[in-house]
Every structure is written in C-alpha cells, then in structure tokens.
Structure 1
Amino acid sequence: MLIAQISDPHLRPGGALYQETVDSNADLVRAIDQLNRFSPQPDLVVLTGDVVDNGSPEEYAVARDLLRDLKAPLLVIPGNHDERDAFRAAFHDHAYLPPDGPLHYVVEFGERRVIALDVTIPAEHHGFFDDAAEAWLQAALMAEPDRPTIIMMHQPPITTGVPYLDDYRCLGATRLAACIAKAPGVERVLCGHVHRLMQMRFGGTLLCTAPSTTTAIALRIDPAAEPASFIETPGFLLHDWRNAKGLLTHYLPIGTFPGPYDFA
C-alpha cells in the first residue's frame, strides 16, 4: 500500500493569493498533477489539514473543484485554518466523516487501518488532546492494538525548537504518547501544520510532519526568532507500506527538475 501525504495547501477563493503573496491554488494543482503521474499510483492520499485558509464556503468550493482531479482515493482532516462545519458540509459525500462533533474516524484497508484524530480547537491555532479525544482514541486503538495503523492529525504534539511553532503545537502530548504506546501496531503518526518535514520518536513509534504544498515556515531555532516563511520548493511525503516489516517514508519535492539521467 502506497500512501501519499499532502498538507496545508491553504486554498483561497479564485484569483486571491495566500498571504497576498503566493498562488497556493496553482501550487496544489502542480502537486495533484505530480501525484497523478507517479508510478505506481498511490493507493491513498491523506490531506492533513489546513485545506483552506479562512474556512469560507468559497474556498471549500475551490478545494472540491481542484481535488476532484486527484486519481487516488482521498482522506481529509481539518486544521486550525479550517472551519469544522463548513469543512463537513464541503466533504459531505466522504462517508467516513462523522455527522457531528470532532472529525475523528477510522478507515480500514484490509489488515491495515488509518485513524484520523481531530485535535483542532475552533478559533485557535494550537490543538488539544482532551479527555474526550483520549477516550475516543483509546477505544479505537484498543479494539485491535496490534493492527498495523497510521494516525493522522494536524498539529504535532511535539516541541520543535522553533518558538513560533511551539506555541501552536497540540497540547496534551504526554497522555497522547501514553495512549499510542499501548498500541504496538501504530507505525506512524502523520501531522501537518508546521510546513516542514520533521521527524521524532513519539509514543513508542515515529512521528513525522509533512511540508506544505505551498510556502515553507522558516526553520529559526533562536528563542527570540520572529515568525517568517520562505517560498521554497514545496513537497509531499510518500509512505511505502508494501513491506510487512514496516513502513518506509520518502520526501518528494514538487516540481520539474533536470533529468532523468542514465546513472544512479
């Protein structure tokens, strides 16, 4: 099973730019085109939040129009820039989404499963793994604790050393890690939000964050650093789950580059 992870496209109404600087809609079109040309095709694409920038119906209409061109099946979860009710209405035909409350869900793929954990808080940038989320996740994991599993969420529950990102992390990390550690089948925790590739051990498994399909948040680890972003080469992750021994994660930049050349 091949799973592509895209994140944080921050789509805007037609003709509008993300942060009045970047055509994030065109960036997603390029990402989708690259995914559609990839061989072999991904079996699944997961989009780990911040589908749109302001949570407006106009932005979600753009999202549905662009994502319609994606060949592979799609799983989505909201981020802090999404508006939960508008998100639910926009993806009403995605039967895995619950009809009310946080957008937690479980989707099974043969012996494997993907668990989506919605830790967003309306009108806030940080996430929170609260009592209700803990009860839901523990029940989902303990139903089959050894089953090969990916958990997808938006805000990572880790400190990155980037001061303006750590203010917006998912709180409740200690009990989230303890919950995950009880389920040895968890292969990855997949997050978005930070617009960069990061990896860290968490809850007895590996947590990784995906880059954005648009801008990259600056890697500034000075405690006094001011928030900043760059227009770097965007990218996505490809999680190769074809080997029974585990899951292998690749980073792929989005774009057209010189090559291929006949050497390796």
Structure 2
Amino acid sequence: MTEPYTFVHLTDLHIGNPDIVDDHLFSDTTANLKALLADVKALVPQPKFIVATGDLTNQGDEGSYRNLKTILTEAALDIPVIFALGNHDKREGFYAGMLGQTENLAAPYFHAQVIDGVHVIALDSSAPGKIGGSIEPEQFEWLEAELNAHPDLPKLIAVHHAPALDEDRPDTEWESLTIADSLKLRDMLKGKNVLGILSGHIHFDRVTNWYGIPVVVGIGTHAATDVTYLHEGMRMLAGASLAIGQVRPSGLTISFVPQPSDRRELHSFTFADMAEMLKKYEAANVAAE
C-alpha cells in the first residue's frame, strides 16, 4: 500500500421531499448535503467509496429517496455509494425510490462488497416502529457467513445504530442497538480483522474503543447534538460534517470535517419530554399496524 486507502463516511442525511411540508425537518439538509459532496469532490486522492449510514431521508417516503438520488446524480461523483438504513428510513420507500424495486419491499437491506481489498459490510438496523435499532436473526446468519467468506480481508461494518456502550442501561437502548444484539455482534466480530464500525443516529462526532474495535459516529447533515446539554436532554444546533477515513497498515484513521456553522439552536427537548415522545411514537406505530 503506497498511500492511505481513503473513503468517506456520511450519515443522517435526513433528505426531505420538496413536495411535502415537513415540520420535523429543522435545517436545509439538501443544501448541507450538496456542500459536503462538493468537499468530497475536491478530495485528492478521490476516495474509494462513500458510505452513508442511515437516516437517508427524514420521512422515508418514496419522493424523498428520489430527491436524494437526484442530489447524488447531480454531484457527478464517480464513486460507489454504500447505503445502510436507519430509524427514519422506511424500507418500502427506499426500495422503490432509490433502487426501483417493486417486490420484497419489507425485507431488511443488508449487503456487502469488496472494494480494492477492503470488505465493506452494511447492516440494516432499522426496526419498524422503533427509534432504537435491532438486527434480525437472518442478518446475523448472513453476517457470519459473510465474515467467513473473506477471512483474510480487513472489514468495515456500516450500521446506523452503534452498539450499546452501557450494557446495564436498557433505558438508553433508544440511542443504539439493543443490548442483546450488541453482545451478539461483539461475539461474532471477535477475532475478525475489523477496522471499524461506522454509525450515526446520535448526531455528534464520537469515537469509541468498543472491545478493541473503533466505533465511529458522525454528526450528519441535519443538526448537531449539543454534547454539553446531554445531562438535561437533547439540544440540536445548526451543524453538519463528514468524516474522511484512511486505511493504513497500522489501522484506521478518522478525520472529521465540519461545515462552518453559527451553531444556533434548532430544536431542544428534555429527557422527560423524550420519554413521552417515545410512548406516543411507539403507540402510533402499533395503531398503524
């Protein structure tokens, strides 16, 4: 390897449908994404791929995915884009609007490919009706087979919800994979050549050494969580960023690239408010079923 192997991590794009008024879209995510893609286009050398780890759209409707597809096409980047789905995504909308698929629309979207010697594995942690993430048994079965298919290659795992960091805190599962799935993933990845796990969901830049594996979370393009407010609740500020990953013989390097921002407040709520919102959100999804 004569130079670092470069890729780009985007997350939480929250792209909207220009034909629909969305009161829960707090920034111009289309403009933010276009600015980030312009930064990507200026990179030298160009990255091998872009991975977008979920919440690709804000509402999950087919029109929003068509809008995202148009933005990516107009950016004219000759780079593969690898998608993972998050809790704002809806599988039916993604398959129809992004992939033009008309069958098997409720299936989880998991896939993998080898790009110039790096094994990129994307999991679908979207759990219909839930804010937190989970991974179906069929995905775990597939993942085990996929890991064994290329045992000699370094691996990057893309999944919207990062593994749970506090395994004694089930009350925080809304921000991660379930604890049970996190432990299962830990055991499955043990001893494998995993460069890192790329995630999103919580809207702030964070790197964790999780059982020896770097777990990288990014801000995204919608809003930036004010980390200093997390003792009270969630305070969302104007902000967006991407991450540049570099693979070296020594391991993975991540550099965060924030967009200029005045960091004005866009939205905020306490954890008491959040508990009530979670109840209403899950009740609404149960009623819809």
Tell me which interval the TM-score lies in, with the shorter structure as reference length.
Answer: 0.7 to 0.9
Residue equivalent to 1:144: 150
Matching residue within 47, 52, 62 for 1:47: 52
Residue equivalent to 2:206: 198
Structure 1 residues not aligned, in runs of 5+:
257-264
| Paired-residue identity, % | 22
Structure 1 distance, partners of 2:116, 2:37, is: 26
Residue equivalent to 1:260: none
Matched, 1:235 2:244: no
CA contact (8 A) 2:219 2:225 kept: no
Matching residue within 2, 7, 10 for 2:11: 7
Matched, 1:156 2:162: yes
State the TM-score, normalized to the length of structure 1.
0.85
Matching residue within 126, 141, 152 for 1:120: 126
What is the CA distance between 1:79 and its match in structure 2?
Answer: 0.9
Q: Is the alpha carbon distance of 1:18 and 1:74 closer, same or farther for their aligned partners in structure 2, counting shifts above 3 Å?
A: farther
Residue equivalent to 2:32: 27
Deviation >6 Å, runs of 4+? 160-165
The structure in which a higher percent of residues are helix is 2
Residue equivalent to 1:182: 191
Structure 1 distance, partners of 2:23, 2:80, is: 26
Q: Is the alpha carbon distance of 1:18 and 1:211 closer, same or farther for their aligned partners in structure 2, counting shifts above 3 Å?
A: farther
What is the CA distance between 1:9 and its match in structure 2?
Answer: 1.3
What is the CA distance between 1:131 and its match in structure 2?
Answer: 2.6
CA offsets, 1:87-116, max 9 Å, x none? 01223279xxx9872111111113221001
CA RMSD of aligned residues (A): 2.6
What is the CA distance between 1:166 and its match in structure 2?
Answer: 4.6
Residue equivalent to 1:213: 221
Q: Is the alpha carbon distance of 1:83 and 1:99 closer, same or farther for their aligned partners in structure 2, counting shifts above 3 Å?
A: closer
Number of residue pairs matched by the alignment: 248
Matched to 1:77, the amino acid is A
Q: Is the alpha carbon distance of 1:18 and 1:41 closer, same or farther for their aligned partners in structure 2, counting shifts above 3 Å?
A: farther
Structure 2 distance, partners of 1:229, 1:254, is: 15
Structure 1 distance, partners of 2:110, 2:89, is: 15
CA contact (8 A) 1:145 1:182 kept: no
CA contact (8 A) 2:243 2:254 kept: yes
CA offsets, 1:45-79, max 9 Å, x none? 11111111001122112111111114122111111
Structure 2 distance, partners of 1:66, 1:151, is: 25
Stretch moving more, 211-220 or 2-11: 211-220
CA contact (8 A) 2:133 2:174 kept: no
State the TM-score, normalized to the length of structure 2.
0.78
1:35-184 matched pairs, under 5 angstroms: 35-68=40-73, 69-71=75-77, 72-92=79-99, 101-159=107-165, 166-171=173-178, 172-183=181-192
Residue equivalent to 1:254: 259
Secondary structure (helix, strand or coil) at the match of 1:8 reads coil
What is the CA distance between 1:251 and its match in structure 2?
Answer: 0.8
